[in-house]
Amino acid sequence: MKRKAAILIYVLVFGIFFLLLLAGLLGFILSQLKVAKQKIAWQKSFEIAEAGIDYYRWCLNNEINCPLEKDYEDIEGQTIGHFKIDLQTNANCGQIISQKIVSQGWTKDFPNLKRKISVFYAKESVAKYSYILNSNVWVGSDHVIRGPFHSNGGIRFDGQNLSKVSSAQEEWVCTQSFGCGPEGVGYGLGLCPPECEIRDFQCICPGVFSTTDVSNRDLFSFPIPSFDFDGITADLAQIKAAAQESGIYLPPSKDIDSKGKGYHLIFRSDKTVEIKIITKLSPTLAYSLEEGWHEDYFTIVSEYTYKTLQIPSDCSAIFVEDNLWPQGIIEGKVTVASANLIAANKDTDVILEWNLDYAEGGEEDGLTLIAERSILIGPDSPNDMVLRGIFIAQKGRFSRNHYPWNIKNSLTIYGSIVSNGRVGTQWITLGGHIVSGYKNRETYVDPNLIYNPPVFTPFLSQNFEILKWEEL
């Protein structure tokens, strides 16, 4: 009897020990299964957050106002999680310029295991390029260009390039106005440079070529697909509508004063603009390839202050239905357009007679200046001229006409030139002597405007792309 009792005690002790061991083992297995499920849920939460990013990018590129919270389903249509999106939008005049998106994702089984992803979406603007041109061009040996340069036409690039120079042309006819001709091989007016060849009594040159040692030919690229110039020009009617609704709109100056010749805008560092109506202009003898010898009425003789306005922060667009003379210090990001959309046969110009600069610091400042036809540097421009901004001549050209023996020292541009016609700010004789324009010229790209330009600046692509990604 005692022996049976002892055996029973041993059975009970070892049984309890075994049960405790089994319970511990099962608990360990279950805890490991839970940890494994949590790890899977942790990874799945990340995937759900990424799905939220992709989902809203689609909404953004298709201009659809999508819900900011959404269930996440598997391939069988079963809801396995959820994502929530928070937005920080950089917009002006109702136009989205860039957007920061934070997507938070979690699974249905582990709602407390949440992961966040932050991305910055934006489009590349024309500020990526120093120049985007739609015609043949000759860049002089004095010109230093520190950003990408592209033309849909041929390029004679004798300046110094610190970046890519590209043309849509495989070859082109270099004529007398570009320092070439079919009268023999050599350098000089009427001669065909050795980099080119005479063919059928024409000087045929590569899409991009140089006749100097200062150019970096390794950065020449041609032919490449042409830019759709119409696609990268601004929608003037859209800018006008926005300016009338929420920005600053100026009607034809003759509607205010019968003597009106256009507007003179003076920008102040306090984000105001003084608006002057010009009543008299004096002529200057000028020459251009497009017009020949003529008189430019660019010099202001008389004007008066019409009003001074605060530039609206929520719609920093100014539309001038007339010719425009801008100057001053730009604080913040501003777009100024000059166009006559009332009279179909009357295009407007922008005349640059003064410096255009940014407020101290400049990183948060920007100017996009758009002319329906041309942006022209006037005869009385500064000896050392500084221009900051994106300058767009939609139908015409960005240039300085030939004013006999009107020679200036330096022209420095921080920004971008988009010009439908040929660009030129220096005139030389047959012997290569400067007789008009600027002796020294430098152009810098403004990187602050590539992804965060003023409103209505044309973009190179219509789709928003991810520029910055991080997990929070």
310 alpha-carbon distance from chain centroid: 25
**Within a domain: 175:** no
**Within a domain: 153:** no
Total domains in the fold of the chain: 2
Residues 241 and 375 grouped into a single domain: yes
**Within a domain: 378:** yes
Residues 364 and 239 grouped into a single domain: yes
pLDDT tens readout for residues 288-312: 988 999 999 999 999 999 999 999 9
Specify the pLDDT at position 45: 85
Specify the pLDDT at position 13: 62
Q: What is the pTM of this model?
A: 0.86
The dihedral built from the CA positions of residue 249, 274, 315 and 365, taken in this order, carries a sign that is: positive
**Within a domain: 413:** yes
Residue 171, judged by CB atoms within 10 A of its CB (0-12, 13-18, 19+), counts as middle
Contact yes or no for 448/330 (Cβ under 8 A): no
Residue 127, judged by CB atoms within 10 A of its CB (0-12, 13-18, 19+), counts as buried
**CA proximity to 409, closest of 382, 389, 388:** 382
**Within a domain: 149:** no
Residues 127-137 have a mean pLDDT of 94
Residues 27-43 have a mean pLDDT of 66
Residue percentage of the chain with pLDDT more than 90: 61
**Within a domain: 167:** no
Q: Phi then psi for 57, rounded to 5 degrees?
A: -60, -40
Residues 260 and 121 grouped into a single domain: no
Residues 37-60 have a mean pLDDT of 83
Residue 415, judged by CB atoms within 10 A of its CB (0-12, 13-18, 19+), counts as buried
Q: Which residue has the tokens 């047959």?
A: 430
Taking only Cα atoms into account, the Rg of the chain, rounded to an integer number of angstroms, comes to 32
Query: In the structure, what pLDDT confidence band is assigned to residue 34 with cuts at 50, 70 and 90?
Result: low
Residues 442 and 300 grouped into a single domain: yes
**Within a domain: 171:** no
Residues 107 and 246 grouped into a single domain: no
Specify the pLDDT at position 87: 87
Domain coverage including residue 40: 2-125+467-471
